[in-house]
Structure 1
C-alpha cells in the first residue's frame, strides 16, 4: 500500500490509531442518471479508519489492527456490493460504502469495554476519487 496523507480529525482523546487496508469488490449504481456507473464494474477500494479513545484494553490496544481489517475486508472482499445485506435498499456509492463501514466499525467498537470511537472513514475508489465520512455528532466521554 502506498503512503497516504489523510485529512485529520481534531479530537480530545489521548490515543488515535489509523488502519489502512484494501478490498476488491464490484458494484453498480442502479439509476439512469449514473452514466457508466449503471454498469457492473469493480474497484480496489483503499480504506483508512481513524479510531480514538482514552482507555486501552488489557493488551494495551485501543483495538487490535487485525480485528479492524477483518471486520470490513472479510465482509466485502470479492463481492458484488449490491448483493450484500448491508446495502439492501441502498445504492452502494462510495459515500454509502464509507457510511456503512463506519456503522459496522462503530457497532463493533461499542461492544468493547474501553469504548473507542470511530472518528473518520476514508474510502478511495480510484486513484483520483475518494470520500471521507465522519459522524455528524461526536460523543466524547
Structure 2
C-alpha cells in the first residue's frame, strides 16, 4: 500500500496506532437515488483504522495488527457486502453498504473486539477509500471525558 497521510483524530491517549489494509469487495446500493451504483459492482477498498489507548496488553500491544486484519480483511475481502446480513441490509437505508456505512461497520466490529480486551482501547477513526477520488471518514462520538 502506498504511504498516505490521514486526517488526525483528536484525543488525549498516550498510544495511537494505525492499521492500513485493502480488500476487494462488490456491492450495490438498493436505492433509486444511487443511480448506476444500484447495479452490482466492485471496488478495491483502502482502509486505515485508528486505535488509541493508555494501557498495553500482556504482550505489549495496544492491539495486535494481525487481529485487525483478521477482523476486517478476512471478513470482507472477495465478498459481496450485501450478502453479509449481520452488517448490511437491503431493507434499511441506515444499513445499505455505502462507503459511510461500511466505514461505520468496520469501526463497530473493531470496537466490539476492543471492548473484550479489557485495556480500554478505542477505535477513534476509520478512513475508507472506495475509489481513487472518493473516501469517507467515520469517527464515533466520544464515549468518555478522556477523549
Q: Structure 2 length as normaliser, TM-score? A: 0.92
Partner of residue 98, structure 1: 103
Partner of residue 9, structure 1: 9
- Distance apart, 1:74 and its partner CA: 1.1
Structure 1 residues 1-141: aligned runs within 5 Å: 1-85=1-85, 86-88=87-89, 89=92, 90-139=95-144, 140=146
- Distance apart, 1:115 and its partner CA: 2.0
Separation of aligned partners in 1, 2:21 and 2:14:
24
- Distance apart, 1:138 and its partner CA: 3.6
Q: Deviations over 1:94-140 (max 9, x none)?
A: 00000001110000000002120000001000001000000022423
Q: Which runs of 5+ in 1 are unaligned?
A: none
C-alpha RMSD over aligned residues: 1.1
- Distance apart, 1:62 and its partner CA: 0.1
Separation of aligned partners in 2, 1:31 and 1:113:
40
Separation of aligned partners in 2, 1:56 and 1:136:
23
Q: Which runs of 5+ in 2 are unaligned?
A: none
Query: Which secondary structure state, in structure 2, belongs to the residue aligned with residue 57 of structure 1?
Result: coil
Q: How many residues align?
A: 141
